[in-house]
């Protein structure tokens, strides 16, 4: 039986970046520390906050007001406290300067940059106003706007079809291995992000030719 043809490394021209954990800081444990300093109780709070309802918020299936009401029930905290946690989650998404520097350098070299993120619509709207790196991207796909989420294969295929990209000419960067594996399953090259230096080295192995 003939083996399937492997993607040509030198053909990779498109770089698809995640947001939280890659372009932006995302540390749930850190953001919850002011609300619960005890590590074990904080672990329980994290489980109660970033639950099924938060994933529905990420997917765009519930509003922020509905999320707040749901988290009041799941955490047992007051409206004010839950509202403060949601604001802390929004505010902790700070720019990672070295990653931004990397993608700007890639754009200057002529590579096509795209963004694919699990992100609630209201958070994305906030980030559009807060950060100025959006000009590097030729296109952006946000889970909360299309009601699809990584690691579902449909969201990767949606991005490829929407922007007319070929999987074998594209590399996806994400900080979660499960999302990286899902990208590879649909034919994309993929890199699990650790930091900007590691990411740049891994990208150069694909883009250098």
How would you write the pLDDT of the chain (209 residues) with one tens digit per residue?
A: 444 444 444 479 999 999 999 999 999 999 999 999 999 999 999 999 999 999 999 999 999 999 999 999 999 999 999 999 999 999 999 999 999 999 999 999 999 999 999 999 999 999 999 999 999 999 999 999 999 999 999 999 999 999 999 999 999 999 999 999 999 999 999 999 999 999 999 999 998 64
Please give the model's pTM, rounded to 2 decimal places: 0.91
Residue carrying the six token digits 């329980």: 44
- Element (DSSP H or E) covering residue 128: helix 121-130
Q: For 3-60, write each residue's pLDDT tens digit.
A: 444 444 447 999 999 999 999 999 999 999 999 999 999 999 999 999 999 999 999 9
Pairing of strands 139-142, 189-192: unpaired
∠ CA 159-4-148 to the nearest 5 degrees?
20
Rounded CA separation 180/47 (Å): 23
Residue 151: asked if its preceding bond is cis (omega within 30°), the reply is: yes
């Amino acid at each position: 039986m003939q083996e399937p043809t492997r993607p040509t490394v030198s053909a990779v021209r498109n770089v698809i970046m995640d947001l939280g954990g890659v372009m932006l800081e995302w540390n749930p444990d850190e953001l919850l520390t002011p609300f619960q300093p005890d590590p074990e109780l904080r672990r329980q709070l994290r489980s109660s906050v970033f639950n099924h309802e938060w994933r529905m918020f990420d997917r765009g299936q519930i509003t922020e007001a509905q999320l707040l009401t749901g988290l009041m029930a799941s955490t047992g905290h007051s409206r004010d406290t839950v509202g403060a946690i949601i604001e802390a989650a929004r505010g902790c998404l700070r720019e990672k300067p070295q990653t931004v520097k990397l993608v700007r350098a890639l754009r200057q070299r002529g590579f096509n940059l795209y963004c694919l993120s699990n992100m609630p619509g209201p958070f994305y709207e906030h980030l559009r106003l807060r950060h100025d790196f959006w000009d590097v991207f030729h296109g952006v796909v946000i889970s909360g706007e299309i009601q699809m989420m990584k690691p579902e294969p449909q969201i990767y295929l949606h991005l490829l079809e929407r922007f007319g990209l070929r999987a074998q000419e594209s590399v996806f960067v994400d900080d979660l291995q499960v999302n990286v594996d899902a990208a590879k399953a649909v034919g994309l090259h993929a890199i699990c992000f650790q930091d900007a230096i590691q990411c740049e080295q891994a990208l150069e192995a694909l883009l250098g030719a």
